[in-house]
Structure 1
């Protein structure tokens, strides 16, 4: 009988000891982790198109929609929607910068993404935009749009 009682006490002591160690280790990790966790806000821009004008004629459109992550602390201090600034930077990146349609079709989005993030963050006293993700990023030629609009219409 005493033997069973001692085994039961031993099991309780081991269980309580392991519980104490687990709670102590978790609280130490949470204290360090709470300083390292960064709170982010997210959102996305509306579908946005930029006309590509070459030789005084519209040759096509860059159509984009981007998702973004923002630093929560910096975002909370400003009441302005960031999507306006991102759309403006997209427009600045593409409008009037190309002399050939083939250049537009070979755009490296990583370079564009970095330029947009840097351009938006330059407008704020602290970096706001953390990352941009692609929802939609296409180049559509003016001829494709004309063909789509005249589909099913007989030409005379």
Structure 2
């Protein structure tokens, strides 16, 4: 009987010891020397919904920019926000592209690095402290109105 109790205590001690080592080994990464959180911890990566911006040329829709982005935000800053940051990102992208191009060939040659910097700066100016750290591209493409019409005709079976 005593032997069974000792074996049970031994199993409990080994289980607790291994749990302690496992938890200690997977502790969250501490902040870097500069005091900022590294990209592996303390940052949230949030994917926006797919959204489109119409490109107007000559008073009519020439096509659409279709985009889906991923932004990085400090988890503490995210918890303090009362409005989803996605609204501000969509607004900044819309402001950049709507009515800005008179020729669709210009849209097809967009330098996304400049767009990214402009969107980050535009959003961070709206808040007392910077909230967006980085903006990554999941999808960013231009679809002409002719391509959309063609896809619609294929779907209906008509010509």
TM bucket, shorter chain: 0.7 to 0.9
- In the alignment, structure 2 segments of 5+ residues that lack a partner are 1-28
Question: Which residue matches 1:124?
Answer: 127
| Residue matched to 1:103 | 106
* Cα separation, 2, equivalents of 1:116 and 1:129: 9
Residue in 2 that maps onto 1:74: 77
Cα separation, 1, equivalents of 2:52 and 2:58: 19
Cα separation, partners in 2 of 1:71 and 1:92, compared to 1, 3 Å: same
Q: Does 1:154 align with 2:158?
A: yes
Q: Distance in 1 between matches of 2:149 and 2:104?
A: 17
Alignment of 1:86 with 2:89, yes or no, is yes
> Of 52, 58, 77, which aligns to 1:55?
58
**RMSD (CA atoms):** 1.9
Q: What is the distance in 1 between the residues matched to 2:43 and 2:128? A: 18
Q: 1:107: Cα distance to partner? A: 0.2
Q: Could you tell me how far apart the structure 1 residues matched to 2:30 and 2:46 are? A: 29
Residues 132 and 33 of structure 1: CA distance in aligned 2, closer, same or farther (over 3 Å): closer
Question: TM-score under structure 1 normalisation?
Answer: 0.75
TM-score computed with the length of structure 2 as normaliser: 0.73
Q: How many residues are matched?
A: 126
> Runs of 5+ in structure 1 lacking a partner?
1-29
Determine helix, strand or coil for the equivalent of 2:83: coil
Distance 2:73 2:47 in 1: 11
Find the structure with the greater CA-based Rg. Answer: 1
SS of the equivalent of 1:143 reads helix
Rounded Cα–Cα distance in structure 1 between residues aligned with 2:101 and 2:70:
25
